Chain A
């Protein structure tokens, strides 16, 4: 394996853990998000009912996925929204670029979209000489600093206000240094209003696409999403193909789960439902609306009944907020677009275990992510599944790169373990040996590393079996 194809997760983690500022920023932020979520769902029975309903709605959507996507396409087309399909991110980027060229656009204003991050769209467009302007405040901050989001909901959460102040002062012309958050926000408002008014193309993601009516639904608080989808002449929406839901009536419960889990809000400032481009007689709104439906490995994930559950995700980010690993290392350490528990299970399935399977090792399997997931994705089970696929002892891996960790030594150890537990003679020998030699547990090799941060187990002189044989069973 060469260093280029396999990122150095361990070094990333080491660096993140040593960054005290980062750890303080993260801890504060995640505690707030966890508390806010708890406050907005005060009744745990009702929350459970809502989660079960959310799970059922998304499962029903996956069950009919091809039909719903076809229906969405038909409805959107009837409404005047032009639908494009992309098998991978290269195709999706190509579609966006082609639309930009057709409108002679040199810039695009962007609402927050994780799929566009998945496409590395900004980078791609920049190479083609097109400026991509992030307009969500958090995204705006990190774009100025040439960073990527560290959280899927609050992308600049690893930065505190002093750092933001320095970035604005340094990167925006004629901007005095200020740590006042209101002033910082006003600076961003001022800088971006000109762009909203003067840019031909706007791009957004999609939170839910409703097959029944051909409607694209977006939630947000800042108004930048509405700006990007209303002020320019052309609106391009990009979505992963799992975003489609069957009916309009599926939306309210999913919205409650999404906004409650993501930011602890009962509803966002805006719920923006777009069903067509500007109609005759209407005075504003884009004249063209395009929807790009992206696969990028999702159809393959769908084919496995257990792994399919990865696609229930509504991208609320609450599994990040509740993850003891994410809270300590932040999003950048994961080295990929989707961090935290959901990223751990999604990324290896998209990019292969060989390159990114190491992500699933960063879990204590505490189960918090599975417990809070608003659509009940059994994330811990899927982490274990991917760990198993990494070794693929049963030769049944379906994820690309399955079995990449398989090695003779470990296979032998497990075979030995299996034998020792099947054959009483071997078991007896084994326990005797452990009893006699236990305190000399190897001080080299993997066990040394294991015990470097853990107390070495103390092995009893004789086995329980042996003692019972000798002393009998005491019932008191």
Chain B
């Protein structure tokens, strides 16, 4: 009787080599992590501002209710034409309210409501600025944290030349570790999670720092105190 020849797959062959490698004997030294910083609320805002400003992020700290006013002010000042936002996002209603109050000199609001396939050209070619909420931030390295949602999709913080993120000061954590632990990220990660520390940049030519390569040229954070 001819037994069919068993032909292990690449996966099986790789794993069997790994299992046979004796790597289980690898010694793992005991090495505690350096102490994490413990910062007060104001210190966190300060540290985040200092680090992110250093990589050319624009930061505005305002009273919690005053952020739409700040956005409106920035919009008039910068002369944006088309502003992308998520009407159903946590900050959507307030944007709508601010525009309803007085839309004079304000950019046209473009809601991100349809799948990107039919929206791509518009998104890449006509949008000036996108406004999103931020899930939180980490103070020790200086970055905002975004978990894009169906209401605030991934490309909002990437494609338009300006990205404005609205951050609640209460959600600034000491460190990435502190945030991941407090929110139990290990239990389930979203489709995409992002740390963003500034506008996109490069130093690939002679280490000359240039901002605005493929992502936004400007990053503006409005921190609600």
Which of A's residues lie within 8 Å of B, judged by CB?
25, 28-29, 32, 46, 49-50, 52-53, 55-56, 59-60, 62-66, 69-70, 85-87, 91, 135-138, 141, 154-157, 159-161, 164, 181-182, 184-186, 188-189, 192-193, 196-197, 212-215, 221-224, 226-227, 230-231, 241, 247-249, 251-253, 255-256, 263, 266-279, 281-285, 293, 295, 299-300, 302-303, 305, 308
Which of B's residues lie within 8 Å of A, judged by CB?
9-11, 13-15, 17-34, 51, 55, 112-116, 119-121, 124, 141-143, 149-150, 153-155, 158-159, 175-177, 180-181, 185-186, 188-208, 210, 212-216
Q: Known: A69-B15, A181-B208. Is A231-B155 also a contact (CB below 8 A)?
A: yes
Interchain CA distance A196-B205 in the complex, whole Å? 22
Question: Contact at B150–A281, with CB atoms within 8 Å?
Answer: yes
4 residue pairs, one from A and one from B, having the closest CB atoms: A223-B215, A223-B200, A271-B195, A138-B204
- The residues of B that contact A285 with a CB separation of less than 8 Å are 153-154, 191-192
- The residues of B that contact A308 with a CB separation of less than 8 Å are 21, 23, 26
Q: Known: A56-B29, A188-B213. Is A252-B185 also a contact (CB below 8 A)?
A: no
A19 CB → nearest B CB, Å: 17
- The residues of A that contact B22 with a CB separation of less than 8 Å are 303, 305
Interchain CA distance A156-B205 in the complex, whole Å? 7
- The residues of B that contact A52 with a CB separation of less than 8 Å are 29, 31
A147 CB → nearest B CB, Å: 14
Q: Known: A213-B185, A223-B213, A276-B191. Is A85-B10 also a contact (CB below 8 A)?
A: yes
**Main SS of the interface on chain A?**
helix
| B205 CB contact (under 8 Å) in A59, A164, A212, A267 | A164
Q: Known: A87-B10, A222-B200, A267-B142. Is A255-B176 also a contact (CB below 8 A)?
A: yes
A153 CB → nearest B CB, Å: 10
Q: Known: A161-B205, A161-B208, A221-B201. Is A87-B14 also a contact (CB below 8 A)?
A: yes
| A222 CB contact (under 8 Å) in B113, B188, B197, B214 | B214
**Most chain B C-beta atoms within 10 Å of own C-beta, residue among A221, A268, A274:** A221
Question: Contact at B14–A185, with CB atoms within 8 Å?
Answer: no
A60-B28, A255-B176 given; name 9 further pairs at CB < 8 Å.
A59-B27, A62-B23, A63-B24, A65-B21, A87-B14, A227-B158, A282-B150, A295-B10, A308-B26
- The residues of A that contact B196 with a CB separation of less than 8 Å are 269-270
Interchain CA distance A157-B192 in the complex, whole Å? 31
B18 CB → nearest A CB, Å: 4
Question: Contact at A249–B206, with CB atoms within 8 Å?
Answer: no
